[in-house]
Structure 1
Amino acid sequence: MTLRLDDVGLDVLHLQKRLNELGANPRLLPDGQFGEVTERAVRAFQQRAGLVVDGVAGPKTMAALSGHSTSRLLGQRDLQRAADRLGVPLASVMALNAVESRGEGFAANGRPVILFERHVMHERLQVNGLSEAEADALAARHPGLVSRRPGGYVGDTAEHQRLANARLLHDTAALESASWGLFQVMGYHWQALGYDTTQDFTERMARHEAEHLEAFVRFIEADPALHKALKGRKWAEFARRYNGPAYARNLYDVKLARAFEQFSDALQAAA
């Protein structure tokens, strides 16, 4: 469930009551209308809980309101540190987090969100010393894990079982063949991003969403053209370089521009 400005209904009413129970100041009028006062109360709660302060009551905020731990979740301070390091406004990094991230970096089983790519496994097996014929032989025996073509996805936590099975074939190639965390950075980027080993990268992805952001920041820093596009707020260029040619069809550049403006206005109003 995600509630935001201008939403109405019973869920908003419950949100307002819960915020009041947790000390909203000023107290909210529980009227089921998500107005600016409710948005400010959500921001104040997010600040206290150490979350990203965006005024949107999404799954993480809802979980925190219910008393669940936020110890491994991304916070506003993490975004500010990333913005300072990249030399861009905080609103830029908040826009990237809102548009380019998965929203949640850990699955229900507590493991980092992943997507295992069997066609990448076919490639990485060869990078890690197997011949093309050997990779094809594994593909014939394990088509769900190794293939020349994408696919075979099962989604959610079951992707970890695919990864576990692939690791039995070749540990490093399997870890390199999954995308990891909030920003779904591919494991095979580990060396270009300055990690010691594939295992070092994946172990860090299991620690905290701040590590997911760290990998994303390193990815941007490693691509001067991508970094330059972000600094210049050339959203179409950034989206093209990060998301590929499908960026326009998915409106990533439009979403980034809108999110930047919204966060800029909100941060200015809160200053």
Structure 2
Amino acid sequence: MDLILKKGDHGQAVQDLQAQLRAQGAALAIDGWFGEATETAIAQAQRRAGLVVDGIAGRKTLAALRGVRDPHRLTEADLQAAADRLGVALASIKAIHAVESRGSGFQADGRPVILLERHVAYQRAGVAHQDAAQLATRYPAICNPARGGYAGGAAEWVRFASLAAVAGDLVAIESCSWGLFQIMGYHWQRLGYASAATFRAAMESGEAAQLEAFARFIEAEPALLKALQAKRWADVAKLYNGPAYKENLYDSKLAAAYARAERLAA
């Protein structure tokens, strides 16, 4: 699992991070406590590197501190352009970016982050005129009327390959959420992609393309766009993640992420 350091963390990893920041000019105590001063120093380092400024030290930020820059990664300018396009506050885009992802649209092995939804696989198999009930009986971990069965991380690609083998690439692509913003594959047609395979290729090409899919998704949902423009987080949560959003306090997380983004922009 990727190392992700954020406000409230403590220990040797934070101390090492603070030493790196100090070496690059941050006036920062090396005390092993990730407080506001460390968060501010991270935000400043992200701003210098052109990264998304969120005050969280994830894979991209830690790599940038080592002098490594990946052109496939999202930049602050990319997010600003999307915010301008949608007519929403930059902090609102950052809030969804922070809550939907762990800071990266790709795994360490270079493949996009995906999550296979087995209940969606059941639905999409039916749409594809396959025997969904039979698939669910034989392969309940990857095709099932009930949610669940998640493996997480790279193991989701194992599940993807298994589903593709028994139900085809189309059903597998459509049954997963993809990238930084976790856009479901079955939206490919309404978002203007020529095919599910084209959508997958876009998600594999870089985080800017993943942001493009997010922008198209918001534009295709006028009620969601209005809620995001008005910062009505409960409505955003319900429209983006479904009626079960309260179980994970999704609206509260969005509000907190928005407040953090606003504070770090000051």
Report if TM-score (shorter chain) is over 0.5.
yes
How far did 1:89 drift?
A: 1.4
Contact 1:49/1:70, CA 8 A, preserved across alignment: no
Give the direction of change, closer, same or farther, for the CA distance of 1:2–1:123 in structure 2 (3 Å limit). closer
**1:145: which partner in 2?**
142
Deviating more after overlay: 138-147 vs 183-192: 138-147
Match of 2:14 in 1: 12
Distance 1:137 1:29 in 2: 61
Check conservation: 2:227, 2:236, Cα contact below 8 A: yes
- Aligned residue for 1:236? 234
Q: Return 5+ residue gaps in structure 1 as ranges.
A: none
SS at match of 1:248: helix
Equivalent residues in 2 for 1:32-181 (5 A)?
32-34=32-34, 37-130=37-130, 134-169=131-166, 170-181=168-179
How far apart, CA to CA, are the structure 2 residues paired with 1:34 and 1:102? 18
Q: Is the 8 A contact 1:51 1:70 kept in 2?
A: no
Match of 2:208 in 1: 210
Q: Deviations over 1:5-56 (max 9, x none)?
A: 56555433322221233x32x5545344545554443223212333211222
Contact 1:9 1:33 (8 Å CA) reproduced:
yes
CA distance in 2 between partners of 1:148 and 1:91 (Å): 37
Q: Cα–Cα, structure 1 residues 148 and 38, in superposed 2: closer, same or farther, change >3 Å? A: closer
Question: Deviation string for 1:247-268 (max 9, x for gaps)?
Answer: 233222222223223322332x
- TM-score, reference length from structure 1: 0.86
* Bigger radius of gyration among the two: 1
**Root-mean-square deviation (Å):** 2.4
How far apart are the structure 2 equivalents of 1:145 and 1:265? 42
Structure 2, unaligned stretches of length 5 or more? Answer: none
Matched residue of 2:205: which SS?
coil
Aligned pairs for 1:180-191 within 5 A: 180-191=178-189
Aligned residues: 263
